Structure 1
């Protein structure tokens, strides 16, 4: 036990960890203002359509998941898709629902979507903006009402879209690498 000059034991609770982190550990990701929906650089938002964009927070290519904020600025049907892995959703603004469920997600709500579920995401009439933080493990397949595959999305397609967008808006394709794990 260490004792200082006055004979007292110093308070070690306020001393930073003094040993090295594990070898091979990846650096932290810190996204200042990560859920600031009204400020920040608008170029951070990657457009998917004229009314739908996403802001990446983590693109984990080594474990096959991503975390992003999906922002929708028009009412209507967004997509019908089947998940290959679990999804966690935290609604930050607005309202959305799935045609296949009775519940409606409002700001402050959380939803868990199990692997294998297929659903149709809708932003109801009268909603000017919906923003939801999604943690998606695996990917999802866009399908028609009878399950026929129409396309897919996963961490790799999100990364490619972010790189294309950041290059086009002058941030440089490598700007997306700040979200990589």
Structure 2
């Protein structure tokens, strides 16, 4: 490669000198997500007695969400089909899909393609599973034959979080800190 084509790094510790775009949405920063947030049961949004989530980003304008999912049960969590791709990083515990031969355990990354249908299973001996999920589109919950039973997307997540935050005294508007 010609040395004239090699990009030199900008090593000046000088902030960008112009305004950001006028219609740009604000940054979201949640300190302590991997420690203090995990321990604060108050902010986990329950979906069942043993399954809950903590939103990090609920992107209504682009139809995706990023959240922490916590499961405190062994067995089948759900069988679902993705309308878009999913990225996952396991923070605690382990899980797998009945349709695959791999196990996602603490420290693992998984990519799930759009269109895939699978059954999430938390094995014996896992008291708590927490996974970071970036979900594009939504899930259609199905029976073993693929018959639709329900769905979940960024809008159902927003509604669930709004109701939970209202019920614990933070107010329905608390969810706005996660919405973009």
TM-score normalised per structure 2: 0.91
Structure 2 residue matching 1:13: 3-state secondary structure: coil
- Distance change (3 Å), C-alpha of 1:24 and 1:36: same
Deviation for aligned residue 1:39: 5.3
Between 1:161-170 and 1:42-51, the stretch displaced more is 42-51
| Distance in 1 between residues matched to 2:36 and 2:67, nearest whole Å | 12
| Distance in 1 between residues matched to 2:63 and 2:11, nearest whole Å | 39
1:178 and 2:172 aligned? no
| Distance in 1 between residues matched to 2:96 and 2:15, nearest whole Å | 45
Q: How many residues align?
A: 171
Structure 1 residue matching 2:159: 3-state secondary structure: helix
Match of 1:104 in 2: 103
Alignment of 1:20-169 (within 5 A): 20-36=19-35, 41-169=40-168
Deviation for aligned residue 1:41: 3.5
Structure 2 residue matching 1:134: 3-state secondary structure: strand
Identify unmatched segments of 5+ residues in structure 1: 1-10
| Distance in 2 between residues matched to 1:42 and 1:101, nearest whole Å | 32
- Distance change (3 Å), C-alpha of 1:101 and 1:170: same
Please tell me whether the aligned partners of residues 85 and 137 of structure 1 are also in contact (alpha carbons under 8 angstroms).
yes
Q: CA RMSD in A?
A: 1.5
Please tell me whether the aligned partners of residues 33 and 40 of structure 1 are also in contact (alpha carbons under 8 angstroms).
no
- Distance change (3 Å), C-alpha of 1:12 and 1:86: closer
Write out per-residue CA displacement over residues 132-160 of structure 1, whole angstroms, 9 at most, x where no aligned residue: 00000000100000000000000000000
Write out per-residue CA displacement over residues 15-71 of structure 1, whole angstroms, 9 at most, x where no aligned residue: 222210012000000111123267554221100111110000000000000000000
Runs of 4+ in 1 over 3 A off after TM superposition: 37-41
